[in-house]
Structure 1
Amino acid sequence: MRFYLIIFLLLFSHLTHAQFNSRLNLESSYGFIIPHSPELRPFAQNNPYGFNLNFQMMGLSEKKWSACNCFHYLGLQLSHYNFSNREILGTASSLSGTFEPSIWRHPKWTFSVLTGMGVTYLDRVFNEKNNPDNVFFSSNLSFLLFLTPRLAYTLNEQIEASISLSYNHISNGGQRQPNKGINFPMLGFGISYYLKKDRLPQYFRLDLDKELSFFLEGGLTTRRSVEQEARRPTFSLVLGAVKPLSAINGIGGGIELNKDYSLSVNNSRLEALMPSPYIAHHFLFGRFDFSQRIGVYTQKPIGYVDNLFYQRYILKYRYFKNLSLGISLKAHGHVAENIDLRLGWAF
Structure 2
Amino acid sequence: MIRNCLILRLWFIVLGCFSCLLAFAQEKIPISIGASYLQGSVLVHSPKIRHLQGVNPVGAEINLQYQTTGTKFWHQLYKYPRIGISLIAFDYQKPILGKSLAASIYLNKYVYHRAQDQISIRVGTGLAYFSNHFDWRLNATNNVISAPLNAVIQFRAEYERILSPKFSLLLAAGINHYSNGGNAKPNLGINIGTLSLGLNYYSQRSFEPLVQAWPPPGNKLSFTISGSAGIKQRDDFDTITYTVKSVALSAMRQLNPKSTLLIGLEGFYDPSLIPRRNWDPRVEPGTSPDIRRVALNFGHELAIGKLGFGTYVGWYAYRPYKSDAAFYQRLETRYPLTRNIYLAAGLKLHDLIKADVIEYRLGFRFWRKKNSPRSTVDSP
TM-score category of the 2 structures, normalised to the smaller one: 0.7 to 0.9
The correspondence for 2:123, drawn from 96, 115, 120, is 115
Counterparts of 1:319 and 1:160, CA distance in 2: 39
| 1:342 corresponds to | 361
Q: Deviation per CA, 1:309-332, whole angstroms, max 9, x where unpaired?
A: 332111223455454433212233
- Distance (whole Å) between structure 1 residues aligned to residue 249 and residue 313 of structure 2: 15
Deviates more, 1:17-26 or 1:125-134: 17-26
TM-score, scaled to structure 1: 0.76
2:311 corresponds to:
292
Q: Is the 1:211–1:243 Cα contact (8 Å) retained in structure 2? A: no
Whole-angstrom distance in 1 between the partners of 2:322 and 2:137: 27
Give the % identical residues. 23
Could you tell me how far 1:140 is from its partner in structure 2? 2.1
Aligned partner letter, 2:32: R
1:238-290 CA-partner distances (Å, limit 9, x unpaired): 33445566775565443332223444277999934322323434433343322
Paired residue for 1:259, among 265, 269, 274?
269
Partner of 1:4: none
Are the equivalent residues in 2 in contact too, given 1:67–1:287 (CA < 8 A)? no
Distance (Å, rounded) in 1 between the aligned partners of 2:210 and 2:118: 16
In the superposition, the TM-score normalised over structure 2's length comes to 0.71
Mapped contact 1:263–1:301 kept (Cα < 8 A): no
Measure how far apart 1:40 and its partner are.
1.7
Q: Indicate conservation of the 8 Å contact 2:76/2:211, yes or no.
A: no
Superposed CA offset, 1:11-39 (max 9, x none)? 99974554632211223334443434331
Q: State which drifts further: 219-228 or 141-150.
A: 219-228
Return the match for 2:29 from 9, 20, 23: 20
Distance, in Å, in 1 between the alignment partners of 2:30 and 2:62 is 17
Over aligned residues, Cα RMSD in angstroms?
Answer: 3.9
**Which residue does the alignment assign to 2:346?**
328
* Larger Rg computed on CA atoms: 2
* Residue pairs, 1:198-277, within 5 angstroms: 199-204=207-212, 206=214, 213-216=221-224, 217-224=226-233, 230-242=240-252, 248=258, 251-264=261-274, 271-277=290-296
Aligned counterparts of 1:301 and 1:177: Cα–Cα separation in 2: 26
Correspondence 1:134 to 2:142: yes
Residue 147 of structure 1 and its aligned partner are, at CA, apart by 3.1
The residue aligned with 1:56 is: 65
What amino acid maps onto 1:223 in structure 2?
A: K
Bigger share in strand:
1
Mapped to 2, the partners of 1:248 and 1:149 lie a distance apart of: 23
**Alpha carbons of 1:342 and 1:54: their partners in 2 closer, same or farther (altered >3 Å)?**
farther
Partner of 1:118, secondary structure, is strand
Deviations 1:197-256 (A, max 9, x none): 551423147369698634424333223478995544322333344556677556544333
1:102 is matched with 109
Q: Confirm whether residue 316 of structure 1 aligns to residue 324 of structure 2.
A: no
Name the stretch that deviates more: 218-227 or 41-50. 218-227
Counterpart CA distance in 2 for 1:73 and 1:140 is 30
Q: Which runs of 5+ in 2 are unaligned?
A: 1-19, 279-285, 368-380
Across the two proteins, how many residue pairs are aligned to each other? 333
The structural deviation recorded for 1:335 is 3.2
Structure 1 residue 135: deviation in Å? 0.8
Deviates more, 1:330-339 or 1:228-237: 228-237
2:290 alignment partner, SS class = helix
> What secondary structure sits across from 1:33 in the alignment?
strand
